[in-house]
Amino acid sequence: MEEWEEEGPEIVKKFLYVNRRAPYGTIYALECLEVALITAAFDQEESLIFMDDGVFQLKKNQDSSDIGMKNFSKTYRALDDYDVERIYVEKESLEARGLTADDLIIPVEVLSSEELREIIDKQDVVISS
C-alpha cells in the first residue's frame, strides 16, 4: 500500500481510437481492435469512433470462412467485457452506406457529426487507423 502511494496519482487520459477503414481489405481494423483491447487494461478513459468506411467493421453476419481470413467481428463484443462502453458511430456515415444501427454486431451510440465533434474535442490522445 505504501509503495502504491509513492507512485503518486495515477494518470488517467482520454484515449480515442478513430476507425475509418473497412475490415479484411486491409489489416487496420483488426490491429486497431487489438490496441483498443489492450488499452482497456490500463484503466484509461477510452472511446472508439467508427466513421466513413469504418462503420463496415461493425456490420453483423460477417463470415470470412471462404476468404481464408479470421472473422474477428465477434471480438468487438469483448469490448463490453473490458468495460469499453464509449463506442460511437457517425450517423451520416451509416446513412451514406444504407445501414442502420440494427445492422451492427454490437450496441453503439449513433451520433451526428456535430455531436461527435464534441466527443473528439475532449480527447488527450487520438489514434487513427
Partner 1 sequence: MSHILHLVNKSPTERNGFDTCLRMAKPGDSVLMIEDGVYAALANADFAKTIIGSMNDLSFYALGPDITARGLNDVPLIEDVHVVDYEGFVDLVTETDVTQSWL
Partner 2 sequence: MKLGILIKQGPFTHQASDTAYLFTVAALAKGHEIYRVFFYNDGVYNSNKLSEPQTDDRDLVSLWSKLAADHNIDLVVCVAAALRRGIKDEILAEGFRISGLGQLVEAGIQADRTIVFGD
- Name the residues that contact partner 1, by CB under 8 A: 18, 20, 51-52, 92, 113, 116-117, 120-126, 128-129
Radius of gyration of the chain measured on its C-alpha atoms: 16
* Closer Cβ to partner 2, 46 or 90, answer by number: 46
- DSSP H stretches of helix in the chain: 2-6, 28-40, 78-81, 91-96, 113-121
Position 24 contacts partner 2 (CB under 8 A)? no
Position 80 contacts partner 2 (CB under 8 A)? no
Closest to 119 measured CA to CA, from 51, 39, 55: 51
Separation between Cα atoms, residue 91 and residue 62, nearest integer Å = 21
Position 28 contacts partner 2 (CB under 8 A)? yes
Which does residue 42 touch among partner 1, partner 2, none (CB within 5 to 8 A, set by kind)?
Answer: partner 2
Which cell goes with 62?
A: 460477417
Which does residue 64 touch among partner 1, partner 2, none (CB within 5 to 8 A, set by kind)?
Answer: none
Position 67 contacts partner 2 (CB under 8 A)? no
Position 69 contacts partner 2 (CB under 8 A)? no
Closest to 38 measured CA to CA, from 17, 59, 69: 17
* Closer Cβ to partner 2, 38 or 96, answer by number: 38
Residues in CB range of 56: below 8 A, 6 or more apart: 22, 23, 97
Interface residues toward partner 2, by CB under 8 A: 11, 13, 15, 27-28, 31, 34-35, 38-39, 41-42, 44, 124-129
